[in-house]
Structure 1
Amino acid sequence: MSKIDVLKGHATNIRKNIVKMVTEAKSGHPGGSLSSVEIATAIYFTQMNIDENNLTSNQRDRFVLSKGHASPLLYAVLAEKGFLEETELATFRKLNSRLQGHPSMRKLPGVDMSTGSLGQGISTAVGMALSNKYHKLPYRVYTLLGDGECQEGEVWEAAMAAAHYKLDNLLAFVDNNGLQIDGKISDVMNPSPIDEKFKAFGWNVITLEDGNDLASVIEACEEAKTVKGKPTVVVAKTVKGKGVSFMENQAGWHGVAPSAQQCQDALKELEGNK
């Protein structure tokens, strides 16, 4: 089995657990969690130096889920890495669970930043990268934003600071699925062209026409490592609800849980896509 096939297997398992988590909780955000699976899979399984022995250490790479409502994605990835039991995923959004609706670094080892208020995630990622630069530490910082999140002014303050401090140890991904809770981003408050905006702020910009292609995402990560003197952003065109046909490109699945039957239909489809 090839490396890409192994990664695709991880991605399928992550998608299945996202669907099961949100269904069990009867709430959550499946659409934007599913669209980002290949990005998170590539980061956690091919890039980050993270394992069960360094979860609580600051001597490793960091990941900040700036679009914190996509917490099912992060929890499913951590389970796939073996950092928590898969059975715990069933407690998502339940009372006293470690798996909050938005990730909390106080609750769960492996969560590098508590996020939820959009724009703050990339801001803290910039702070982490700046700290590593100041202390001459070799660790990289990864962050994942939503395209709707790029309507937040704080994103662009962070972008300006990252370029000013030449944070070439920072790699940001924008999950550019074109949809947010209220519909198309172009109708709500158009942040496009996102790539040109980051370029104007002084970032190295990589655009991916298919951000759900693992090989392309990995290639972008490797390319970013070669860039010196500026941060890199990957603006990745993705499909909201990717992998579940009745969710794909539907804004209505931004924050709605599937029914039990819809969950079974989705799991059957995902199993067939292996």
Structure 2
Amino acid sequence: MPASVSPTRKVDTTAPLGGGGDLSQDRSLSLDYTANLKVSDGALDTAQDIQTTSTPQFARLGIGAAPSTTRRVYVYDITATASVDALYFSQRMTPETNNRTVSGITGYANLYQNGYTGHNAYGMRAACYANSATGSATVLTGLHVDVGNNSTGTVVNCHGVRIAMPYFAGGGTNTFYYGLTVEPVTGPTYIYGIRSRIAADTNRWNLYVDGTATNYLAGNVLVGTTTDGMTAGGSLAIAKDLAHRGTLVGFYNTTPAAKPTVTGSRGGNAALASLLTALATLGLVTDNTSA
């Protein structure tokens, strides 16, 4: 006769193993699973299919480190010693109808203020830093954009960076809109807010502004020179030819006027009086002469 087991003896289990208990009767052991595990045909498996053809869903994902509570996808790698991409997107589209759109990255940041103030929202945010005390970096680029035509087809418009028309649904208060903002910079020897290096040729423009709104420049404007010798902000220095193709001109804060006609006889003072009046009208002289 087999020996009996004292009912005071028991089998304790911890997850993922379940069941057990005191041995006063037959007990079963089972392999429990949570949201992370499942049992399939007696084998332990993930709760979601993660094959290359599957579509799993994750609340947060960490690659190279544990998931971050403030970043839905967190990629962390300090092992790279050669050229590497933390994230690489390659999306191909072969359309079967007209007017299709393909995007490498699409980002939306939807902010619901919920009655609170002082928030910030970024549709896309990039940072690039050099972090070593030795060596040098040739170029640091916060955002690098390549665009072009790799075949013989037709591309009508190419935009390195395109800022679409802003969307304001109406009813709210929208105080300022800036299509492009370059914040104050200090530190480097040379600072360029915007630099364009397109060489001169037919139908080429380094700056082409065809909007009809007023253009405001607070600093000095230099044309054909990098030095002006002027200290007052808003001054204009031109080192090349100036062609005025308009119909009105004014100097020294006078109201712009049309090209004057000087009349009168050169044998008397009538022509001189007419000339002085014309020059004064343009603002070139102040006529304090007497008759």
User: Please, what TM-score do these two structures have when normalized by structure 2?
Assistant: 0.18
Which structure: larger Rg? 2
More contact order relative to length (CA 8 Å, sep ≥ 6): 1
User: Please, what TM-score do these two structures have when normalized by structure 1?
Assistant: 0.18
Structure with more helix by fraction: 1
